[in-house]
A = this chain, B = another copy of it.
Amino acid sequence: MDTMMMDAMKSGDMMSMRGMPAMDMAMMQRCMDACAACEQACTVCAMQGMDCAPACMNCADMCNTMMRSMLRMQGMTPAVMMSMLDACMAMCQMCMDMCMAHSNDDVCMMCAQACKACMDACMEMKTAMMAAA
């Protein structure tokens, strides 16, 4: 996400969740970027017609929904956000596991990498939220 847009959101207090201190902007940006990259990688990987495809399609949709939700923090409570992060991490884990089984396929390897990065970024967010709670 564009830096100017992040600044505009911050100044307009658009990032604050109900009942939660404002999040670290750089961390959120990392997480949204990881979700967007994962959606794209999974969309490409799903097209290969391998047995990971259904998991990849599910993961692409969940990552897009996760990213959009982070752009709409006012529409979440910390509890809802935690639950969404859990679902996103679970979906990424499964997609990664399926793709890792195709270790000689370049697209699957990159999809697995993107899933791992998305899981890590979601976990960073969850850890920070639990520390702040």
> What residues of chain A have their CB less than 8 Å away from a CB belonging to chain B?
1-2, 4-5, 8-9, 11-12, 14, 32, 36-37, 40-41, 43-44, 46-51, 53-62, 64-65, 67-69, 71-77, 79-80, 83-84, 86-87, 90-91, 93-95, 106-107, 110, 114
CB-based contact A80/B94 at 8 Å: yes
* 29 A–B contacts from the bound complex (CB under 8 Å): A2-B110, A4-B110, A5-B107, A5-B110, A11-B106, A12-B48, A12-B106, A36-B36, A36-B40, A40-B67, A43-B57, A43-B72, A46-B53, A47-B71, A47-B75, A49-B49, A55-B74, A55-B75, A56-B75, A57-B57, A57-B68, A57-B72, A58-B76, A61-B64, A64-B64, A80-B93, A83-B91, A84-B91, A86-B86
